[in-house]
Amino acid sequence: MKHQIRIILYLFVLALIVIGLFSCSSDQMPKPRGYFRIDLPKKSYQTFDSTFPYTFEFPKYATIKPDLLSPDQPYWINLEFPQFNGSLHLSYKVVDTNLVQYVEDTHEMAYKHISKASSIDNRLIFNQKDSVYGLIFEINGLNAASPYQFFVTDSIRHFLRGALYFNVEPNNDSLAPVIDFIKTDIEHLITSFKWKSISGVK
């Protein structure tokens, strides 16, 4: 009798184990971490043309604001992307005998992200017709604070540097669709970029 009870208990425990295994079906497995869907607006551009020594086209879903952190630099502006919590900082300088120093400073500011970057890809900007020459820095890596930077110059009078930042903790895996989207806008800005002669900036 005791032997029969022991067999019944054994079969009962075995049945519980089998039921438990089958209840852990594949749809109960942890799912990979996902991200919220990002709705990207339709591409549409307008011209920034004012009293500044440069002009370019920028997207209609972006806004231009003065750089309040540099009130002594009237031609420094931020191209804000409020929908994506991002900003392209544009800083302008007049070239005298300091072009080499400006270029070296730009390289240094781009490569200071190397510790968080998996790679930095460089691309030349060469627009002889409008005297717009420079370099693009695509900074790859999940934790790189600024994924895209560039500079342009006419090599004689004008120099402008651009740097893209997001006002969120760097996670360029989740930001990848937005970064790619805004890269297209920045490259349109560069393609449409032209210098102007104004009073005080010859």
Instruction: Per residue of the chain (202 residues), give pLDDT as tens.
Output: 444 434 343 433 344 333 333 444 444 444 444 444 567 999 999 999 999 999 999 999 999 999 999 999 999 999 999 999 999 999 999 999 999 999 999 999 998 877 777 889 999 999 999 999 999 999 988 778 889 999 999 999 999 999 999 987 756 567 889 999 999 999 999 999 999 976 555 5
User: Residue 112 domain-assigned?
Assistant: yes
What is the pLDDT at residue 91? 98
User: Residue 145 domain-assigned?
Assistant: yes
User: Residue 158 domain-assigned?
Assistant: yes
User: Residue 162 domain-assigned?
Assistant: yes
User: What HEC string does the chain produce?
Assistant: CHHHHHHHHHHHHHHHHHHHHHHCCHHHCCCCCCCCCCCCCCCCEEEECCCCCEEEEEECCCEEEECCCCCCCCCCEEEEECCCCEEEEEEEEECCCCHHHHHHHHHHHHHCCCCCCCEEEEEEEEECCCCEEEEEEEEECCCCCCCEEEEEECCCCEEEEEEEEECCCCCCCCCHHHHHHHHHHHHHHHHHCEECCECCEC
User: Residue 111 domain-assigned?
Assistant: yes
Encoded amino acid at 94, one letter: V
User: Residue 113 domain-assigned?
Assistant: yes
What is the pLDDT at residue 151? 98
Residue 169 to residues 28, 86, 107, 152, Cα–Cα distance (Å): 31, 12, 24, 28
What is the pLDDT at residue 37? 53
Residue with tokens 């800005």: 189
What is the pLDDT at residue 174? 75
Residue whose C-alpha is closest to residue 197's, from 154, 166, 164: 154
CA-to-CA distance for 191 and 130, rounded, in angstroms?
A: 10
User: Residue 166 domain-assigned?
Assistant: yes
The total number of structural domains in the chain stands at 1
Identify whether the C-beta of residue 79 lies closer than 8 Å to the C-beta of residue 58: yes
CA-to-CA distance for 88 and 91, rounded, in angstroms?
A: 10
Residue whose C-alpha is closest to residue 62's, from 193, 195, 189: 189
What is the pLDDT at residue 172? 57
Domain around 149: 54-195
